[in-house]
Structure 1
Amino acid sequence: MKLAEALILRSDYQKRVEHLKNRLFKNVRVQEGDQPDEDPAVMKAELTGLLEQLKLLIQNINKTNIHTKFDGNQTLADALVIRDVVGQERKIYSDLIEPATMRHDRYSRSEIKYVTTISVKETQKYIDELSKRYREMDVKIQELNWKTDLLE
């Protein structure tokens, strides 16, 4: 199995766990004399088995990420951390642009005037650079995911 396939499977398992959890919550309590729509014991057993499969899959994904070379100095795990931090930085600066570009109309000279304390143009340019770095890194990561066999 390729790493990319394992990542898709992990996402599927996570969705199934969430779905089972919701079904279990709906059937854990019923009115006296009624029966639940589904047997909570059966769902609990299914959930336990699914969580075990998810645990093993995540362990194998992590092992693969740690042992897969991304470039000369970094592993795939390192590249994922860097990509995520670049994405987080990009989001922060994108969120920062919004209040910096907000206009406040003044109706008289006695109203408080607000000024922007950052260069919107330079900040936007930096956001564009971060976006490009993120995209380029993500493309390389995705490519590597489809070329790499999952370690067990």
Structure 2
Amino acid sequence: MRLAEALALRADASRRAEQLRSRITGSARFQEGETPAEDAMSLLTEVGGVLEELESLIRRINRTNAATPVGGGTLTDALARRDVLRLRHSILTAAADAAASDGQRGYRQLRSELTIIPALPVAEVRHQADDVARQVREVDTLIQRINWEVDLLD
């Protein structure tokens, strides 16, 4: 099985576990004289199997990520790089948006109003954000390619 397939199975197992959680909590109590919609105990048993499968997939994916070389590091290193680049992009975009302040900077209707001045060079920060977005795309493309090339370790 390829790493990409295991990642899809992990996402599916996570979704199934959350759905089962919801069904369990919905059936955990019922009114006297009524019948619950589902048997909460059998749902607990079912979620146990799903969680065991999820744990196995996570362990195998992590082992594969740590053992797969990418550039000067591992796939785990590339994943960390992508996560930090995404966070950096988010921060730069938020900073540029805050400094731009919806086009209100520097304008006032009355002389008694205070002028709002950006503390950051908006165009430069947006340029930095664009550069980081490009880096995110490049790292993400590399990760996706490797995910389809690498076999999942046992």
TM, length-normalised to structure 2: 0.95
The number of equivalent residue pairs is 151
Is residue 38 of structure 2 the alignment partner of residue 38 of structure 1? yes
Any residues of structure 2 matched to 1:62-141 within 5 Å, and which?
A: 62-71=62-71, 73-102=72-101, 103-104=103-104, 105-141=107-143
Structure 2 stretches lacking a partner, 5+ long: none
1:63 Cα deviation after fit: 0.3
**Structure 2: distance between partners of 1:26 and 1:142:** 38
SS in structure 1 opposite 2:139? Answer: helix
Under a length normalisation based on structure 1, what TM-score does the superposition of the two structures give?
Answer: 0.96
Structure with the greater relative contact order (CA < 8 A, sep ≥ 6): 1 or 2?
A: 1
Opposite residue 90 of structure 1, the aligned amino acid is H
Distance, in Å, in 1 between the alignment partners of 2:41 and 2:12 is 22
**3-state SS, counterpart of residue 131 of structure 1:** helix
Could you tell me the percent identity over the aligned residues?
A: 39
Q: Could you tell me how far 1:50 is from its partner in structure 2?
A: 0.5
**Distance of 2:28 and 2:34 partners within structure 1:** 12
**Counterpart of 1:146?**
148
In structure 1, the gaps of 5 or more residues are none
Aligned residue identity for 2:14: Q
CA–CA distance in structure 1, aligned partners of residues 49 and 99 of structure 2 = 50
- RMSD, aligned CA: 0.9
List, as ranges, runs of 4+ consecutive aligned residues in structure 1 with deviation greater than 6 Å.
Answer: none
